[in-house]
Amino acid sequence: MGAAAMSGTRERIEPGQPVVEVEGLGARYGEQTVLEDIDLTIRAGEIHVIMGGSGSGKSTLLRHLLGLNQPVAGQVRLFGQDIARLGEREMLALRRRIGVSFQGGALFSSMTVEDNVAFPLREHTRLDENTIRIMTRMKLEVVNLAGFEDLLPNQLSGGMVKRAALARAIVMDPELLFFDEPSAGLDPVVSAELDELIIRLRDIMKITVVVVTHELESAFKIADRITVLDRGRILMTDTTGAVRATAHTRVQALLQRRPEALQLDAEDYLQRLTRS
Ligand SMILES: Nc1ncnc2c1ncn2[C@@H]1O[C@H](COP(=O)(O)OP(=O)(O)OP(=O)(O)O)[C@@H](O)[C@H]1O
């Protein structure tokens, strides 16, 4: 039995139903508009990749989806609930249905892999130690880290750290997982392993996964649907096939670029410099 099942009754959302709904979202930092007119629906059971170059607004969108930032316009609904209207307790209950693996979401360096993964269970549930241990080990197996539970983070490779962080993000059996730049800093082989793992989470654990990335290859490999974000606006949301085949010139321009070029758009960069 999972932590979710133990923490009370909750309806599991049916495949294909909207899990994340964004309508007319706008975001600003000071005078700078960072997101504008964002409409987006993410459905249960899909791997949805939000793709865009550096500064396109990916991280800001993610922060809004998690309710960490207040929008200047529009709304975000998670599991059908408008997150701006939720009280603290309701928001906490909602957050338990969500796993997050952030780029900078480092492991606690003084804790073993096992204690790191067990941390959310110790913080948010009253499960006994034996159950916590079993659930933690199960998740370590899912991410292929069985046998490494007693190591400290600095004894792990970059790919292993990512997998341990992923185990921690799924230890509460989330229905929705946000994964920020899974392949950042990883070599291609390790990055491909992580892609496989994300696909496995969808197929075996039936988790809806939202991946934010600027890695084109990885995006096309794992996504059911892709949202292309550019300068704070959504250029398109569609299946990988449709995105690849689109006649949209700006999308094609972004796709033709080498990943490194996509990270730093010179024109954008200069605009940003002169704006501030
Ligand atoms: N806390 C902040 N305060 C002010 N401006 C910010 C802040 N965070 C981001 N920005 C600006 O908002 C814009 C979008 O940034 P954001 O981090 O959302 O983009 P991104 O697509 O995630 O980029 P990257 O891939 O480089 O992380 C950029 O112009 C950035 O400089």
Helix (H) or strand (E) holding 204: helix 188-205
56 lines ligand 1 (CB under 6 A): yes
pLDDT of residue 82: 96
Residue nearest to atom 25 of ligand 1 (CA): 54
Identify the three-state secondary structure at position 253. helix
Whether 262 lines ligand 1, by a CB cut-off of 6 Å, is no
Break the chain into its structural domains and give their ranges: 42-57+86-259
pLDDT value, residue 171 = 95
pLDDT band at 268 (very low <50, low <70, confident <90, very high): low
C-alpha of residue 254 to centroid of ligand 1, in Å: 18
pLDDT tens for 92-136 read 899 999 999 887 667 999 999 999 999 999 998 999 999 999 999
- Residue whose structure tokens are 């979401």: 105
6 has a pLDDT exceeding 80: no
- Other C-beta atoms closer than 10 Å to the C-beta of 90 total 12
Q: How does the average pLDDT of the chain come out, rounded?
A: 88
More confident residue, 15 or 105: 15
Residue 7's pLDDT is what? 44
220 contacts 189 by C-beta, under 8 angstroms = no
Cα Rg, the chain, nearest whole Å: 19
For residues 197 and 87, give the distance between their C-alpha atoms in angstroms, rounded to a whole number.
34
| ipTM of the complex model | 0.96
The pLDDT, as a whole number, for residue 9 is 47
Asked whether 55 lines ligand 1 (CB < 6 A), one says yes
Say yes or no to pLDDT of 22 above 80. Answer: yes
Ligand 1: which residue has its CA nearest to atom 17?
Answer: 59
Average pLDDT over residues 66-84: 95
What is 42-57+86-259's CATH topology? Rossmann fold (3.40.50)
Q: pLDDT for 46-58, tens place per residue?
A: 999 999 988 899 9
Grade residue 8 by pLDDT with cuts at 50, 70 and 90.
very low
